[in-house]
Structure 1
């Protein structure tokens, strides 16, 4: 019988690597990184596996992990895999309503929580629902509610395994494990409605490992990988599992807001991220260029020009750069590019997978121009992450790479990207009707994304459901416009309004610090942020920048009116998902009065 690979992965790696460091995490009390060896990792996984059996968790039962990124998340995941138990990760920022829904939908009896916020939410959910029996707390500093006599700390949970009789049951379960076992249920963020539980089986991960082995040939045991996206997200989860399978060292970033500090402490060789990370880098570098003068500014601009010509005009297109261009590039590689990478913390970079949203072309060109190997890709929770990805020197600006070996892609009706292969989910948990709708009659998964293939590369155009139709009958692709505008240093967030409207408008969240700096430099006085954003000179500034950025769009696609918002879109108001994707319907509802005002005849 073939057993599940994930059920024995950590123990196999411990036998190979022993006391070599497998994981690191930051201790915030001492500001140091604590190493965990492969041997210790494997022992903790075994302890969790025995404690889960002792607790009474059944084969293929669902347990929850409601935490920010912590090493304990891995101990629970792989301990559960040893026992043929299913883990259901929840985003650390999930609301009480979201947690309640998932706990009840997946019938979770045992929920592991990270810090105080997660415990407080879980405790309230336990009193409201029928499913949740016990909360296990990772952080020993969490204060339990006065009437809580049932929850236990992770250290006490581990003591449940001290009776060796549980080991036989763990070994029996591991020996009976199968690639057909369910491994995870990942609840999607739900930009268009209720969250759905995507079922991922062990076979899905194994197929993903095999496909990545054929593409990511330079990842291995010498790589130091920073984990900063949530482990709840399939991109970071699938990537982290694959890195462990390859013997990499994982450095777990606890607080997302600390990434600029922790990346400099670790100086990783690899890290997966969303385009927003690179947009911030792009904006920061161009701010430095704008502040520079004379020879320094000229050199920085020339370095970007030379890098673009060398890496994109020539190498990307399979051409050999001229000797003079190669010499200039080598000079900037030793000076400006090197200094830039060191300033960010990426001077040891191997490659950096990037996905989760459209990458603005200016940002992608910039990253490749300075010699950083960004690997753009495309995937979904339902495809166990990667559908396609680039590789070093094998990329196209605007593309999302070549389709991963083992995954089949076809372009269906309305240019929809449809998928088939070993990484594709079998469906949504307890949702047969929705599962049926998600697949074509001949068994291909409908992604809902529109795209096309060209020269072996996959290109995305839009979310099919996101296409807007104006009252004049014109179709608008909002993401294409938003991606163009968001690279501007004065713009932080933007959402396009156009559906069933006469023309295109936009709600814009400015980069407040940049706007305030502009106001000081131009002697614009203001009493509040709202007052500042309504100033005619500030509106004129944004109008000029928007007009410049949207020149390539057809007249009917261009933003005609916009409103600058004094507060950013937020998860608290339901405007953003846990993965920071915009919920357009909620934004339209929350800002209805502001939007309606932009379409009044006498405005402007």
Structure 2
């Protein structure tokens, strides 16, 4: 039943997500809350907390008119933006459970989530997307309403389908705010489906208490300020973005600007000029690749300046982390190197970034060290959907790029069998939706979540060392973590994507997607030295791969390579919505190529 919402004095008193928003609106009503690009007016538009909440009110009323009971599910299949969070906030205020889905996921996966979650309403971006979902043939009769964002004057025999404008217009006219439904911290705040790298995704049940606890712990570790601007481009179906890039800025009173799209991200970074970035490693890897490609084609003076900047900047970072002082020479050189090199490189990110957080997957050391040397504090963290998601993160003053930082306040960690990282605390999920056996398998009776990740814990600092399920065992008995090798390979800008295989095989093979421009340059280099043809190209690729993984044992060096210029995509079912490899799907897709590689004798690896 609707009831009054008490207003806490500060963040410490917040218990639910609707309470968090109400508190923020009351605390700083006139401050900038959100910024988005208005495609009609062709300009960026800002909204204050008071204005955005007034806009949300219409969505609350429209959703209330559907008369869904608290606890029912509302599926959101929209790109990042105001409309997405408006439906999210409306659902939360009515005691409903958002089910965020990745906007570019394939129709079969979307239909599966709709059926599994039992959602009563779907908010979808286009009618074409809805028709593709219907075409999968999965039963969708449980859906009572389909709100289509682009269907203004929609006429359809399916009475469930309504255009967004019409749906909202039916709720207009009231003046008094609609009271929120009374919600408890243990009530569901979302069912977030995991990426499903090895099979069908599972619905992770996160309560209001789970998410709010994580927001509070993040706020104690990384202090965003009201003047900060976040640029949001990770999908809001990703818990990393939901908590770190959406709910946490509400707690901090910071502004979130929604990027237009990933292809326009470079332009949006320069236009928005964010101060905080929340991203997965792939974005940093792409920028690193561009810098390295530029270095390769630069003149000797420009190349030497970049190398000197990275060397001096790296020593400055190391000295700061040791609470020491850089050498006199480095102190004298840095202002000039910063102006000539570092500032120009970081201008690609807008030029105002003071902190960038990397999570969701490991980041290669050459990549993170480059940004740290340029003066950008990239903080690597660790978490998973099941922990709402952040477990640990580095800080500006205590940043070990080899690790994922110290555990957050209120979160417990320990090592179990086979050095598996176990996590317990208020942000650990309630369980998997309709999968009690799966829940018991990963969350024991004492509340410890079995992460599946291997780790070291030294003085409270966590270092992830591998993934238990992803360990390859070769026919010679060697155990290898392929994700570590793939991360190292992707630090070379020639490689866009990589998969290492070799289970019960005599040696490892790398399947790689090449950067087209870099590959042309590499072939030109080979031709200039009199090396042409498939064998020379294969040898060159193996040499590059060997150089990338040189920090690993010799048995972990791939001895064969297969390459393509065609990228692996979410739409083709080869990547998860968070851009992780779907290993079984990739191995099935390229089974013939893998068999062909192993039918041949591996090439010798020689430096090029």
**TM-score, reference length from structure 1:** 0.93
What is aligned with 2:74?
A: 63
For the residues of structure 1 that align with 2:18 and 2:222, how far apart are their CA atoms? 23
- Structure 1 residue 569: deviation in Å? 1.9
What is aligned with 2:148?
A: 137
For the residues of structure 2 that align with 1:17 and 1:551, how far apart are their CA atoms? 52
What is aligned with 2:222?
A: 216
Q: 1:533 touches 1:566 (CA, 8 Å); kept in 2?
A: no
What is aligned with 1:76?
A: 87
Please, which of 490, 497, 506 is the counterpart of residue 502 of structure 1? 506
Q: 1:228 touches 1:256 (CA, 8 Å); kept in 2?
A: yes
What is aligned with 1:456?
A: 460
- Post-superposition Cα deviations, 1:125-154, rounded to whole Å, max 9, x if no partner, equal 69842211221122356x857544441122
Q: 1:359 touches 1:398 (CA, 8 Å); kept in 2?
A: no
Q: Residue 264 of structure 2: SS of its match in structure 1?
A: helix
What is aligned with 1:194?
A: 200
**Relative to structure 2, which stretch is displaced further, 10-19 or 357-366?**
10-19
What is aligned with 1:528?
A: none
Alpha carbons of 1:145 and 1:349: their partners in 2 closer, same or farther (altered >3 Å)? Answer: same
- Structure 1 residue 202: deviation in Å? 0.5
Structure 1 stretches lacking a partner, 5+ long: 525-531
- Structure 1 residue 319: deviation in Å? 2.5
- Post-superposition Cα deviations, 1:394-424, rounded to whole Å, max 9, x if no partner, equal 1112111111111111111111111000110
Q: Residue 537 of structure 2: SS of its match in structure 1?
A: helix
Alpha carbons of 1:328 and 1:39: their partners in 2 closer, same or farther (altered >3 Å)? Answer: same
What CA RMSD, in Å, does the superposition of the two structures yield over aligned residues? 2.3
Alpha carbons of 1:254 and 1:147: their partners in 2 closer, same or farther (altered >3 Å)? Answer: farther
Q: Residue 171 of structure 2: SS of its match in structure 1?
A: helix
Alpha carbons of 1:506 and 1:533: their partners in 2 closer, same or farther (altered >3 Å)? Answer: farther
Matches within 5 A, 1:91-240: 91-122=102-133, 124=135, 128-140=139-151, 144=154, 146-162=156-172, 164=174, 170-171=178-179, 173-174=180-181, 176-217=182-223, 219-239=224-244, 240=246
For the residues of structure 2 that align with 1:207 and 1:197, how far apart are their CA atoms? 20
For the residues of structure 2 that align with 1:493 and 1:442, how far apart are their CA atoms? 40
Write out the 4+ residue segments of structure 1 that deviate beyond 4 Å after TM superposition.
1-4, 122-127, 143-146, 520-524, 601-604
**Count of aligned pairs between the two proteins:** 589
Matches within 5 A, 1:308-457: 308-312=314-318, 314-342=319-347, 344-457=348-461
- Structure 1 residue 512: deviation in Å? 1.5
For the residues of structure 1 that align with 2:552 and 2:422, how far apart are their CA atoms? 28
Alpha carbons of 1:28 and 1:116: their partners in 2 closer, same or farther (altered >3 Å)? Answer: farther
For the residues of structure 2 that align with 1:88 and 1:164, how far apart are their CA atoms? 28
Q: 1:66 touches 1:114 (CA, 8 Å); kept in 2?
A: yes
Match status 1:15 vs 2:26: yes
Alpha carbons of 1:290 and 1:496: their partners in 2 closer, same or farther (altered >3 Å)? Answer: same
Q: Residue 403 of structure 2: SS of its match in structure 1?
A: coil
Match status 1:85 vs 2:96: yes
Q: 1:3 touches 1:178 (CA, 8 Å); kept in 2?
A: no
Q: Residue 578 of structure 1: SS of its match in structure 2?
A: coil
Structure 2 stretches lacking a partner, 5+ long: 1-5, 7-12, 604-608
For the residues of structure 2 that align with 1:419 and 1:523, how far apart are their CA atoms? 53
For the residues of structure 1 that align with 2:105 and 2:498, how far apart are their CA atoms? 23
Q: 1:416 touches 1:451 (CA, 8 Å); kept in 2?
A: yes
What is aligned with 2:544?
A: 545
What is aligned with 1:255?
A: 261
For the residues of structure 1 that align with 2:76 and 2:517, how far apart are their CA atoms? 37
For the residues of structure 2 that align with 1:199 and 1:521, how far apart are their CA atoms? 53
